[in-house]
Structure 1
């Protein structure tokens, strides 16, 4: 037994003993379990698991190395286990009916926490494919359950801005009061952290407000505190000329072999001379992987450039082109067409710049053409 190695990310608090009884290991019963059954099985895959019952780390069950359990929660590090333990205690203290690591045989899923027989809480520390989280969510929804995901990673701040990875952005939710927001939990500090009014700056950098909520607060008290938040939209002043120069330098140095740059050059264009309305950073740019200069150029080259002054078009029509040119990021709960907000922002920008006008709802008229400059603009 002592020489067995364990598969990181396949550990849990609950298992079945040799009689098929469900066992949950805790600090209270850890010493009793040492002298009890020596054979335990995973609820999900029925493979043997080992009781890790040392004095330093949190006691838990672990799969043997090479186990192929697909139903158990991913990324079960000591930090993850500790977070589940704290969340369980926080909910129980408020008299919620809560079950740890409940297994749903119909969908072959094991939830971190199952609350009030209809709410599933998943706490995710490790970075896994977002598609897996979406699939897991859809499985829970198919049973009529309400799934919630809590981020277990720390969000980094650099030079006064938050840095959100693509994985972390998958946890985003949207609210009239909070704007874009997400919830994380820090077991070391025994507190939640709410990031709200999240607004994109550039790349992986975002402006946001944050609020830490100690587990000394009840859920009701937390909700009251959040209710006091008022929505605010941050204005970001931009130097479009400088941004264009930085963009040209970036592509010249780092993207020289990109398909987009090759297509651009073959068509006789240079980034620095593209219409100034192309390559514009907008608040919702983070909703797509495709760089602003690439999708805006394609939208101009294949749609807007072909229209004459006075021509009209519908938002639905241009949206068909937009959809072809962007690859939206994956998010657990936000709708697939959330990225269309980016198109709305771009049309508003073009209207502000005098390129077009919305003369009736969702119908636009060209006021002037976006011009390619043969020489760099001053």
Structure 2
């Protein structure tokens, strides 16, 4: 009889221990006597310091479950439920310390928990800075802008032609971060994709923002091949109005401008006469939009004109007016000496 009692006690202890272990894992699927089922797909949610929204799906036998965060954390972590999902919106973390809370989902006597963590804010000098992309209306007569943080260039903004077999064949506005004194063409953020306007089946110089949801994608160029090595279309129906760029060159779409904003400046090539030439980016190469029309060498000395003698033309730096003087963008004609080839043409 004593052995029977001991065996019964051991079985009871095993049952209690098993029940305790089964209830200890918050995210195991619950199935209670009243057939309540509740589970969530993950244990952790990690948020950036800027703040963002995430949605998780809940497996539940009823849609009457409720969700909440630890009391007191509702001031920065906001929870709502809809059908079979829970949405949590986290505000920007302005402190340079990580913060966390617990998201609890309840249904009848069942509950599941998820740890919610948010990154600490970087030091003020390391925070990404925001900017507005120029419209490229043509007023500045250039297709490349510099993105400036004071006197330091931190990015480059181009309206350029993107062509990658089977992926894209359109004009686009792209932002690149800087690496040293050059744009990093492997990390392009495609702000918007443009459609060319046709009139009577003929292309015009007018481009409109595409109505397709393909904005905010990415592009990378292979400099050795002067071609696109990777293009990923975005999923946004409209271009981002504001962007940010971090010290590491990461470019993102943001909801609004911050207190620290960057400026844009048109990028020109300038000759010794002070003439500005707009720039156009073609693949990985940069070209002047117009032909040269300087009257001075790089050292500031004058280039002769009106030279008629063959010998003088071969030995003196000289130029002639264009054969199309009615075209203000037409460049001048230069001899080899003016181009730096001493010793004659």
Same fold per TM (> 0.5)?
Answer: no
Give the TM bin, normalised by the shorter chain.
under 0.3
Instruction: Compute the TM-score of the two structures, normalised by the length of structure 2.
Output: 0.27
Greater C-alpha Rg: 2
What is the TM-score normalised by the length of structure 1? 0.26
Q: Which has the higher strand share?
A: 2
